[in-house]
Amino acid sequence: MNRQRLDIAIVGAGMVGLAQAALLAVRHPQLQIAVLEASTEAPQVSDTHHDPRVVALTGASRALLEEVGVWEQIGARACPYTEMRVWDAEGTGSVCFNSRDVQLPDLGHIVENNVVVSALRACLEALPHVELVTGFRLESWWRDCGLWHLQPRSDRVNVIEGLEENSEILRTRLLIGADGARSRVRDLLHIRCRDTDYHQTALVCVAECEKPHQHTARQRFLKSGPLAFLPLAGLGDDRHCAVVWSADETLARELVMLDDQAFALNLEKAFESRLGNIISVSERFSFPLRARHAESYYGPGAVLIGDAAHSIHPLAGQGVNLGLQDVQVLSEEIARALKRGLDPADTSVLARYQRRRRGDNAATLKAMSTFKSLFGAGDLHWRWLRNTGLSMVDASPLLKKRIILRAMAV
Ligand SMILES: Cc1cc2nc3c(=O)[nH]c(=O)nc-3n(C[C@H](O)[C@H](O)[C@H](O)COP(=O)(O)OP(=O)(O)OC[C@H]3O[C@@H](n4cnc5c(N)ncnc54)[C@H](O)[C@@H]3O)c2cc1C
């Protein structure tokens, strides 16, 4: 691998950056690709406990992971869910989506983040012209003669494997920013971002429940935010769920301070004991929730994908699915450029990618913000409206089918 003249450098080895590298490498084995990752830690998949950070993957996301050959490895730890139940804590409105409504075997799969990341990393190791460079935190850059010169942070603790101190600069024609919600690439491109603070924090953990989850994803909308129990697979029982509790900041701070037993009791009460007693809870992690949308997805020779371009409230579990759709569309545009003898870093190529993705992502962001406001509103009119809305959707098979197919992006 000639790190001084790469075709494509991808900054960020999260699910989206790794998937982008894998898809491009599988479809275009001639391209020289490097993935630059700030962290030096490899994700660990445990045989005895689940990673509390999970994603609900749609059929379209699964198809992408199948194409790059990692689904088989992920499979045993992916929990298919056949039903999704959503209900309002302040009223009687509820809706139940079932995979039978759309004649499909499931509505999607719940998978631990570290399982997906490990599988994608293993996939890259087996591909000849793609390399993962860890310990490379992109700090600065300059561009001349159509080449980006990328420089890592100089106070880094770990010496990058295989790179001499004074030859750390990597050079590439196309730069893809997949470096998450606080993207350095986006900053270096001077791309502004629309930023909405939800004043909520998502607490995530794994709960062992008394009753089996029955392959059902459940979400209760409380006034302080949605609480989701997502079914998990792979450790020999069906009583473990990933919990995502999005709560207003004050409540979240109180919940974080509780000991495990008190937290489990609060959780059980907030969830109306729908899965019986909470037997145990794992370590808790918290994530402040903000919606961000980059005003542009590209600059000269550089493009943003995944959370670097857009990040949304987790209430509909769409974040990484939108990112993987970016991956699919950018790969299609790069393929189209290569077929026509165009440089994939050409502005016209990146502008086409933006045209195909930005409107779609903006619509999803808007829908999530509307849901969040609707379910956070406490007055009688809004309560009546959302409870009536949920019941109306539940009573209309056609509407349910359209919502499911839209959410599954199939
Ligand atoms: C509580 C919660 C629940 C969620 N649930 C769901 C769900 O059910 N379904 C769903 O689809 N989505 C969900 N999401 C969203 C999903 O987790 C994100 O959309 C997804 O992880 C984004 O992936 P990414 O690869 O774009 O970014 P990230 O996962 O943030 O990865 C970015 C990577 O870039 C690296 N990096 C950062 N800066 C630099 C730099 N300067 N140089 C080099 N490397 C750098 C980071 O170390 C990191 O590895 C949830 C999010 C939260 C917070």
The answer to whether the CB of 203 falls within 8 A of the CB of 271 is no
Residue 398: Cβ within 10 Å count: 8
The answer to whether the CB of 208 falls within 8 A of the CB of 189 is no
Best residue among 113, 189, 307, 310 to mutate for probing ligand 1, ranked by most atoms within 8 Å of CB = 307
Residue 374's pLDDT is 66
Residue 378's pLDDT is 63
- Nearest atom in ligand 1 to 181's CA: 30
Residue 396's pLDDT is 77
Percentage of residues of the chain with pLDDT beyond 90: 71
Which has the higher per-residue pLDDT, 11 or 404? 11
> Residue 410 — pLDDT band, cuts 50, 70, 90?
very low
Encode pLDDT of 74-130 as tens digits: 988 999 999 999 898 777 778 888 999 888 999 999 999 999 999 999 999 999 899
Q: Is 158 a residue whose pLDDT tops 50?
A: no
Encode pLDDT of 22-33 as tens digits: 999 999 999 999
Listed range (64-78, 258-272, 280-294, 391-405) with the worst mean pLDDT: 391-405
CA of 344 to the centre of ligand 1 (A): 25
Q: Is 232 a residue whose pLDDT tops 60?
A: yes
Residue 375's pLDDT is 66
> Residue 409 — pLDDT band, cuts 50, 70, 90?
low
Q: How far is CA 33 from CA 133, 135, 170, 202, 305, in A?
A: 11, 17, 11, 35, 16
Residue 394's pLDDT is 74
> Residue 367 — pLDDT band, cuts 50, 70, 90?
confident
Best residue among 58, 320, 365 to mutate for probing ligand 1, ranked by most atoms within 8 Å of CB = 320
Best residue among 117, 179, 186, 187 to mutate for probing ligand 1, ranked by most atoms within 8 Å of CB = 179
Distance between CA 87 and CA 85 in Å, rounded?
7
Mean pLDDT estimate for the chain: 90
Residue range 359-363: mean pLDDT, rounded = 91
Residue 50's pLDDT is 95
Residue 75's pLDDT is 86
pTM of this structure? 0.92
User: What one-character DSSP code corresponds to residue 37?
Assistant: E
Residue range 52-69: mean pLDDT, rounded = 96
The answer to whether the CB of 333 falls within 8 A of the CB of 352 is yes
First-to-final CA distance of the chain: 37
Residue the block writes with tokens 């409230």: 313
User: What one-character DSSP code corresponds to residue 42?
Assistant: P
Residue 284: Cβ within 10 Å count: 17
Q: What is the length of the chain?
A: 410
Q: How far is CA 212 from CA 76, 264, 276, 282, in A?
A: 18, 17, 9, 18
Residue the block writes with tokens 């997502």: 230
Q: If we measure between CA atoms, which residue out of 45, 37, 230 comes closest to residue 119?
A: 45
Q: Is 398 a residue whose pLDDT tops 90?
A: no
The answer to whether the CB of 219 falls within 8 A of the CB of 226 is yes
Q: Is 166 a residue whose pLDDT tops 50?
A: no
Tokens of 222: 């409380």
Tokens of 22: 């894998």
Residue 234's pLDDT is 81
Tokens of 395: 């009573």
Residue range 3-19: mean pLDDT, rounded = 94
Residue range 194-221: mean pLDDT, rounded = 94
Residue 157's pLDDT is 42
CATH class as words, domain 6-46+116-194+290-370: alpha beta
CA of 307 to the centre of ligand 1 (A): 6
> Residue 155 — pLDDT band, cuts 50, 70, 90?
low
Kindly report the protein residue whose alpha carbon is nearest to atom 15 of ligand 1. Answer: 319
Q: Is ligand 1 within 6 A of the CB of residue 177?
A: no
Which residues, other chains included, contact 12 with Cβ-Cβ below 8 Å and sequence gap of 6+? 35, 36, 37, 38, 177, 178, 179, 180, 183, 306, 308
Distance between CA 220 and CA 49 in Å, rounded?
25
Encode pLDDT of 314-346 as tens digits: 877 788 999 999 999 999 999 999 999 999 999
Distance between CA 320 and CA 243 in Å, rounded?
17
Encode pLDDT of 256-267 as tens digits: 999 999 999 999
Residue 297's pLDDT is 98
What are the structural domain ranges in the chain? Answer: 6-46+116-194+290-370, 79-111+199-289
Residue 165's pLDDT is 47
CA of 101 to the centre of ligand 1 (A): 31
Tokens of 364: 């999803």
**CATH number assigned to the domain covering 79-111+199-289:** 3.30.9.10
Q: Is ligand 1 within 6 A of the CB of residue 322?
A: no
Q: Is ligand 1 within 6 A of the CB of residue 179?
A: yes
CA of 116 to the centre of ligand 1 (A): 12
Residue range 204-216: mean pLDDT, rounded = 97
Residue range 154-182: mean pLDDT, rounded = 73
The answer to whether the CB of 227 falls within 8 A of the CB of 245 is yes
Tokens of 246: 């999005």
Point out which residues pair with 220 in neighbouring strands.
87, 227
Distance between CA 159 and CA 287 in Å, rounded?
30
Kindly report the protein residue whose alpha carbon is nearest to atom 52 of ligand 1. Answer: 314
